Amino acid sequence: MATAAHYPYPAPIEAYGNGGFRFAGMSHKGSILCLPSGIHGWSAVAVPSLTVDDFASVLAERASIDFLLLGCGRSLLVPPAPVVKAFVAAGMGLEPMDTGAAARTYNVLMGEGRRVAAALIAVE
């Protein structure tokens, strides 16, 4: 689920690590959601504990998103089955990968004008 921190525009990820991210010349400590509506703080800390509710903001914007890149932390993990099923039901792709790969891929696809979003779990 998105938290109160919000940058109101999509932006490329400039850096990640040390428990957070840099984008638009700013930094954010913790995980983030990169959506068409902007970049939002995200309360997620680990893939195994993710629930469908953690993706409510993503699913609410599904009309503007073809697929979500899920940055799982330091390594690729399979999201819980209910999360996968929710994305299938919404007709939206879900691509898990490590957070670094997800951030880089998000930047490339966003630069190409693709309808992509990212849910990035912060890494130290």
**pLDDT, position 5:** 67
Q: How far is Cα 105 from Cα 11, in angstroms, rounded to an integer?
A: 13
Residue 57 token pair? 């903001």
Q: How far is Cα 14 from Cα 107, in angstroms, rounded to an integer?
A: 9
Q: Which residues pair with 15 in a beta bridge?
A: 22
112 pLDDT higher than 80: yes
Residue 59 token pair? 């699913």
Structural contact between residues 73 and 123, judged by C-beta atoms closer than 8 angstroms:
yes
Closest CA to 43 of 3, 70, 5, 71: 3
The model's pLDDT over 12-47, given as tens digits with 9 standing for 90+, comes to: 999 999 999 999 999 999 999 999 999 999 999 999
Name the residue range of residue 17's domain. 2-120
Which domain CATH number covers 83?
A: 3.40.1230.10
Task: Domain count for the chain, please give it.
Answer: 1
Q: Under 8 Å CB-to-CB from 94, ≥6 apart: which residues?
A: 67, 68, 70, 79, 83, 84, 87
pTM of the entire predicted model: 0.95
**pLDDT, position 80:** 98
The model's pLDDT over 47-101, given as tens digits with 9 standing for 90+, comes to: 999 999 999 999 999 999 999 999 999 999 999 999 999 999 999 999 999 999 9
**pLDDT, position 6:** 82
